Each structure stands twice: as structure tokens, then as C-alpha cells.
Structure 1
Amino acid sequence: MTATWRRRVLVVEDHALLRSLVAEAFTQRGFEVAASPSAVEALRVLDDADPDLLVTDIDLGSRPNGVELATILRERAPQIAVLFLSNLSLEAAAAQARDTVAGASFVNKGAIASVDELVDAAEAVLTDRPVRHVSGAEGAQGALLRLSTAQRETTRLLAEGLTNAEIARRRGVSVRAVEKSVARVFQALGLVGDDATAPRVAAATLYTATYGNPRSGL
């Protein structure tokens, strides 16, 4: 009797409930599923899982992150399809991935109504149809994504909790130069002129919500 070939997916998600829901949805669609809470664990089960598809969050709470995991898997198995599941906007997710994971697709967790939509996206990825389920970036988040590279780096360091003096030491510039850069960031993000808003806290919160926690190494 000929065995039926089943597509294999490796799901990597550090939130236990979501990981379970996603794994169950893929199982119901006929996939053979391996699920891991971290990239380290995923690499341990990789040979046995032998996946056709990797579905991974970008921010896994520890290193390697999802982008690094996908890069490692692609080096071992160039044909593997990759679907990033993330809270990040498309622009932020693409900035994380850069050019290291060619052809990867992105699904924003807030842009899908159910795990079935996620599996539909995975089906598309497996047939070489890239997907982009994303939330629109408007307002302050849109302004953050339009910052220059230098300004975005300043905002990242703010999100790390660094003072202006610490940022100056980290970047090898004067404190005055950092003060000017921070002021330009606040202006660009619309965080000036409101006495009720603490610009430094607001900028750090916005960066973390958009790009993930910089302290996690992402």
C-alpha cells in the first residue's frame, strides 16, 4: 500500500496558546506538524521534522530570533518556504529580514481574523504565491517608519532606555549632536507641544510596539 505524502510544517512561536492553535489548524488541513517554543528547540527537532514550510514569529523572546532561524534553515535547505508571523508592520518586518530571507512572506497577527487565514496564507506560500497580510501604518507609526536610518537608530537607543550621554558614547558623537537628533525625532513623530506627553517615553513605546523590544537583540 503506497503511503500518502503529507506536507510538513515547523511552527515556531513562543506563546503557548497561539502555538497550539496554529499547530492544530495546520493538522486539520492535513499537514504533519512539528511545533517549538524557540529557535533553539526548533533546530533540535529540525532533522526529524524535515519541514517543507517554516512558520515563525520574528520576535521569539530570545536569540536566535525568527529571521535568524529562517536564515539558518535556508542555508541547510534552500527550498524551504518561509512565512513570518509577527506583530510588526510589513515595513518593520521587511527591515528585520532585510535581504537574508529571499521570497519570505509576512502575516501581521493583527491583520488576520482567524488561524484558518494563516493556513490559507501558508498554502499560498507553498505554491510560490507571496502573501502580505498587514495592518496599515498610519499616524505616529507611519512617521516612525519614515524616519531616516540615523533617526531610527536614535529612537532604538531611546527604546533601550539610554540617556543622551549614553547614546553619545555608544555612537561616538557629542551629547549636543544627540540632543539635536532626539529633538528632530520628537518633531517628526509629533511628540512636541503636548505637556501631557512624555516624548521620550512615547517614542520608546512607539518603537517597541512597531519593531519589537530592542533589548531582546532584534
Structure 2
Amino acid sequence: MRLVIAEDAVVVREGLAGLLTDRGLEVAAAVGDPDALLAAVERARPDAVVADIRMPPTHRDEGLRAAAELRRRHPGLGILLFSQYVETSYAHALLADGPAGIGYLLKDRVLDVDDFVDALHRVVEGGTALDPDVISRLLNAGPSPAALTAREHEALGLMAEGLTNGAIAQRMGISARAVEKHTAAIFDKLGIPRTTATHRRVQAVLRYLEDRSA
């Protein structure tokens, strides 16, 4: 996997590049600002971008805006953004055009290199990788829509993290069959049409988060 990293803190940028290189990933470029990120992607044509949401000059949402521009220029490019804080408005903005190929993790999660690399693979493959703390904040912002049960609510949160049914079953301590029943109920309650399984999971997550922000 070929990557471009964007992070203005030199120590963090070099440390992340080293960790990912040690795991066999190719870091084609590591830059410190949004303009350099856009240029590096044009030059290197990576499989994915790893970028901080807050970068110069204002340290607000420059990374997020660069990600939106990259999605416009390079459909299919995996984008994994990270932040020091849980910022649900950024998560909603990221998912506005659909969650496929998008990840949003907290910086602390980078320390678990296996999970971080797994998240990268998911976004490159067109999946979604959302931080559990971000999901928790989003899903607990108010009463559950569509009368989801507590277990369905939990299953949808894990779905939003990008976990497979098998991984959800392990996390919840239930059978794979029980997960299938929960996901079928979620799809029905959220009015997700019968298309491919992957598409329905993505649409369920997006529909739920849209309801939370309404």
C-alpha cells in the first residue's frame, strides 16, 4: 500500500511514517500542510492519505477541506483523517458524500499500530473506519431513531467502526446468527433497501448519523 502522510508536527509525522514503513507500507511522501498534501497526491498517486484534520495556517479544519478536495479530484482514494479530539461536526462533514473509503480516528488510536493498519486497509478497500469514541459520541447524542433496541444500537455502532459480522459477534459476545438478526432489524427499521450487503451496511451507518444530526 502506497501512502501520503500530512501532519504539521515533525515528530509525529516522522514517527508515523516510521511505524507504517516498519509494517511494510510505502510512505511516498510526508508533508506538513494542506497545499503540500494536494501536490504530493498529484505527484505520488497513493492508495491512501493519512492526514491531521487541524493543520496550518489556522489549525482548524484545513485537513478536512483538503480531504474533500482530494475526494473530488481522486474518486476512490482512501482517506484516513485523525484528530486529537472527538469532533462530531467533522465526522458529519466527512460522511456527507458517503462513508465509503473514509476513516476518522483519534490520534491516540495510532499507538495501536495493528488497528491503525487494519483501518487503512479498510478505507483502501472502500470501507469505513470510524473511531469507537467518535461513534459513541455520535450514537449517544439523543434518543435512538426508528425504535432501535439497545443491542441493535450497539451493533450499529460496531458496524460504523467498519467491523465485519464475525468481529461484531466477538465484540458483543453473541453468535454470528444473532448479529445477522440484529443487522436485518436495523436495515428494516432504517428503511434501507435490499441491495448488496456492503452497500446496505454503509447506507445504514450514513442514514443513522444523518438522523442524529437532523
Higher relative contact order (CA 8 A, sep 6+): 1
Q: How does 1:53-202 map to 2 (within 5 A)?
A: 53-62=48-57, 65-89=62-86, 91-97=88-94, 99-100=96-97, 102-103=99-100, 104-135=102-133
Give the TM-score normalised by the residue count of structure 2. 0.54
Question: C-alpha distance in 1, partners of 2:41/2:6?
Answer: 11
Which structure: larger Rg? 1
Question: C-alpha distance in 2, partners of 1:97/1:50?
Answer: 21
Partner of 1:49: 44
Pairwise CA distance, 1:127:
2.4
Stretches of 4+ aligned residues off by more than 6 angstroms? none
User: Which structure: greater helix fraction?
Assistant: 2
Q: Could you give the per-residue CA deviations for residues 46-76 of structure 1, whole angstroms, max 9, x where no partner exists?
A: 2221111011111113267111111111121
Q: Tell me, which stretches of 5 or more residues in structure 2 are unaligned?
A: 143-214
- Contact in 2 for aligned 1:90/1:106 (Cα 8 Å): no
Q: Could you give the per-residue CA deviations for residues 143-192 of structure 1, whole angstroms, max 9, x where no partner exists?
A: xx77xxxxxxxxxxxxxxxxxxxxxxxxxxxxxxxxxxxxxxxxxxxxxx
| Alpha-carbon RMSD | 2.9
Partner of 2:171: none
Q: Tell me, which stretches of 5 or more residues in structure 1 are unaligned?
A: 1-6, 147-218
SS of residue matched to 1:73:
helix
Give the TM-score normalised by the residue count of structure 1. 0.53
Pairwise CA distance, 1:40:
1.1
Question: C-alpha distance in 2, partners of 1:11/1:101?
Answer: 22
Pairwise CA distance, 1:37:
0.6
- Contact in 2 for aligned 1:89/1:137 (Cα 8 Å): no
Q: Structure 1 residues 36 and 100, CA, compared in 2 at 3 Å: closer, same or farther?
A: farther
Question: C-alpha distance in 1, partners of 2:46/2:98?
Answer: 16
Provide the identity percentage.
Answer: 26
Pairwise CA distance, 1:137:
8.9
Partner of 2:5: 11
Paired AA for residue 36 in structure 1: V
- Contact in 2 for aligned 1:74/1:101 (Cα 8 Å): no
Number of residue pairs matched by the alignment: 137
